[in-house]
Chain A
Amino acid sequence: MQQEVVLAMLAKEPSHGYELRGRLRHALGPLGDGMNPGHVYVTLTRLEKAGLVRGELAAGSPDRADRKVYELTPDGQQRVAEWLADMEWPKPDLAEFHLKLIAAAASGLADPVTIVDTQRRELLRRLRDAQRAALDEEDGSDASLLLEGIVLRLQADLRWLEACEQTWTKRKAGS
């Protein structure tokens, strides 16, 4: 996960690392289950070194990341503002899969239709998992909105695979 996420979570108010983890967990729901609990502390330490956050120790506490209250520095504020305005968007790498099918057909090493079918099955199972999780979420929860995005994206991928299957099946029949 990007450092900016942790930074932006801190913009609300000065917080302990565990509070940030709580906010992340709430926002991600079951999707955050696999997150490494130490990740937030590692990131905070890096951000502190970069001068984007300042960690304040409570009097008499040992110097450890999990005892500190963190707040944004002016540079940190600036970075959060830039990040919020940023138009970056994740790009799915469809070209690789597309080229895999082309190469499989050209070399005769594998059947592109079989590759598509296998991939479709895998995505359907993922869709099922994501859907399950979405149905288990309470209506309107933060995590359910994220799950909705995952479901819709998988759906789009599956539609593309459907188109791949139709085209490659036709090509196979024509060759």
Chain B
Amino acid sequence: MSDHEDTFVLRARELRKHYGRGEGLVRAVDGVDLDVARGEAVAVMGPSGCGKSTLLHLLGGLDRPSDGEVTLAGRRIDRLGERALARMRRTDVGFVFQAFHLMEELTAVENVELPALVGGRSPRAARRRATELLEQIGLADRAGFLPSALSGGQRQRVAIARALVSDPLVVFADEPTGNLDSAATVDVLRLFDRLHKAGQTLVIVTHDERIAATADRLISMRDGAFVDETRLSGGTSGRLGDLVGLEG
């Protein structure tokens, strides 16, 4: 591995995804370059239809680009065969979606352990890891509940635990707070914040400014391309009290 591959766990070069042709050609992703450092949290924001979800799918190997390269931990994934790509998705990346996508007939702990089982871990090891994760997200006492018996915020936390069960290199999240009320959003923010502090690499696409503000870097996307980038890690120099006009 070169130095770059040590630093950047995820890289994209001249990434494009086009649909249709001629007059009806849609450039959903149109020439994106991206380097994500190990342990970095990157948020991509933009209006609906700007291509951010498509981009996430290309980066996580859920979809193939029309052109360009995606490299995960030094390995090109845009050219992998179907089976190798499926294996990569099970072991190297985790996904969190707006609509949770939990299996309704499985309990919380069964949902969490499922990817590990499919990935070839022993039932016992998978259950142990799933139980551990449910404890970490504060839902150990809900392990045997079906998703229908959980609140939206709890379901999303279970989905996040599921995304983590294979110890992925990168967790991709697509509008993870899109279906949640304010209190549940805070729970999910807190969980992402903890993951980030623990060194998990995160790529989040969202139009929720709150979750974007927890990232190290915020990228604005328009019409399939990146138009602006803001590094947030520095924070402001001002006092918190200035935010509410408390002085003196």
A→B interface (CB under 8 Å): 1, 28, 30-36, 39, 90, 117, 120-122, 124-135, 146, 148, 150-152, 154-155, 158-159, 166
Contacts and interface: CB of A to CB of B under 8 A. Distances in A.
Contacts of B232: 124-125, 128
Contacts of B212: 124
A130 B240 contact: yes
Contacts of B189: 131, 135
Contact of A127 (B190, B193, B210, B239): B210
B241 A33 contact: yes
A134 B228 CA distance: 27
A28 B240 CA distance: 11
A91 B235 CA distance: 26
**9 closest cross-chain pairs (CB), A and B:** A34-B241, A34-B239, A127-B213, A128-B213, A125-B236, A158-B209, A121-B230, A155-B209, A31-B241
B218 interface: yes
Contact of A130 (B47, B190, B243, B248): B243
B1 interface: no
A1 to B, nearest CB: 6
A125 B235 contact: yes
B244 interface: yes
B240 A155 contact: no
Interface residues of B, number: 29
Contacts of A135: 186, 189-190, 193
A126 B193 CA distance: 17
Contacts of B243: 31, 126, 129-130, 150, 154
Given A34-B239, A150-B244, A151-B210, 8 more contacts: A31-B243, A125-B236, A129-B236, A129-B240, A130-B240, A134-B186, A155-B210, A158-B209
Nearest to B237: A125
A48 to B, nearest CB: 19
B245 A129 contact: no
Secondary structure call for the B interface: mixed
Secondary structure call for the A interface: helix
B2 to A, nearest CB: 32
Interface of B: 47, 182, 186, 189-190, 193, 209-210, 212-214, 218, 228, 230, 232, 234-236, 238-248
B248 A1 contact: yes
B12 to A, nearest CB: 23
B235 A117 contact: no
A36 B239 CA distance: 13
A124 B214 CA distance: 10
A122 B213 CA distance: 11
Given A31-B243, A126-B236, A128-B232, A39 B248 contact: yes
Contact of A34 (B230, B236, B247): B247
B209 to A, nearest CB: 5
A136 B238 CA distance: 18
A1 B246 contact: yes
A122 B243 CA distance: 12
Contact of A146 (B190, B209, B244): B244
A33 B247 CA distance: 10
A35 B244 contact: no
B245 to A, nearest CB: 7
A124 B209 contact: yes
Contact of B214 (A35, A121, A125, A131): A131
B190 A28 contact: no
14 contacts: A1-B246, A28-B241, A31-B240, A32-B246, A124-B212, A124-B230, A127-B209, A127-B210, A128-B232, A129-B240, A129-B243, A148-B186, A150-B243, A159-B209
